[in-house]
Amino acid sequence: MKIEDLYQMVLSKLGHIKEDESKLSRVFILLEQMDVDGGEEEIVGVDVEDGEEYRSLVMQIADALNDGFVCFVNPQTLEMEPVDCKGYYDAIEIAEQNEDMMDEYDLDFTKWDGYIRLQPFGREELRTAMGKFALEIDDPKLAEKLQNALEANKPLRKMLDMIRDADKWLVWQVFKKQEIINYVKGELADTDLPM
């Protein structure tokens, strides 16, 4: 297939979803993940008037959470420290509960006056996101299978396998990233950030 033909196919697909903000936002996130830079576009789910610093912070946190990190945000300085959960999680718990041991782990957030702690999605959050995904996916047969899988044993594993088998993995990743962005915005919404 020639590149021009492929380009025309992509344009025609975009034409079908041009009125659907949710689907267009997923396309934008996918393009962003592919490192396609079109300039000063709005990050999906973040209003332009929120400012570049806020948008950048939201995306940094969302990326880290998506990669499985626990994120600590200093609401006064907007510093963000991602901490790998694997092997470090106990250190975080110990550092938060025992001031004498904080310096031992060399975690910056322990030196801040205060912080906001954001967790990566656990099983319940993933299950909720997958339930939403099953309701919004444009493939009715797959949507029904995914909804049925939610009721089965080990629903997350089954749903992820179904998504891969249906060749919808990228669609799921974009959807999940948007859910994480919404979560981050919700957590930051009640905080008086210096912006």
pLDDT in tens, 69-112: 889 898 888 889 888 766 545 555 555 555 554 555 567 777 78
Of 187 and 35, more confident:
187
Of the listed ranges 28-42, 48-62, 126-140, 151-165, the one predicted with least confidence:
28-42
Q: What pLDDT is attached to residue 27?
A: 72
Would you state the pLDDT for residue 41?
Answer: 39
Task: Identify the DSSP state of 1.
Answer: -
Q: What is the DSSP string of 60-100?
A: HHHHHHHTTEEEEE-TTT--EEEEESTTTHHHHHHHHH-GG
pLDDT at residue 160 tops 70 = yes
Residue type, 107: L
Interval 140-145 mean pLDDT: 91
pLDDT exceeds 70 at position 65: yes
What is the residue whose two structure tokens read 């782990």? 105
Task: Compute the distance between CA of residue 184 and CA of residue 48 in angstroms, rounded to an integer.
Answer: 17
Q: So what's the pLDDT on residue 4?
A: 59
pLDDT at 185 over 50: yes
Going from the C-alpha of 113 to that of each of 63, 82, 83, 90, 137, the distances in angstroms are: 25, 17, 18, 21, 44
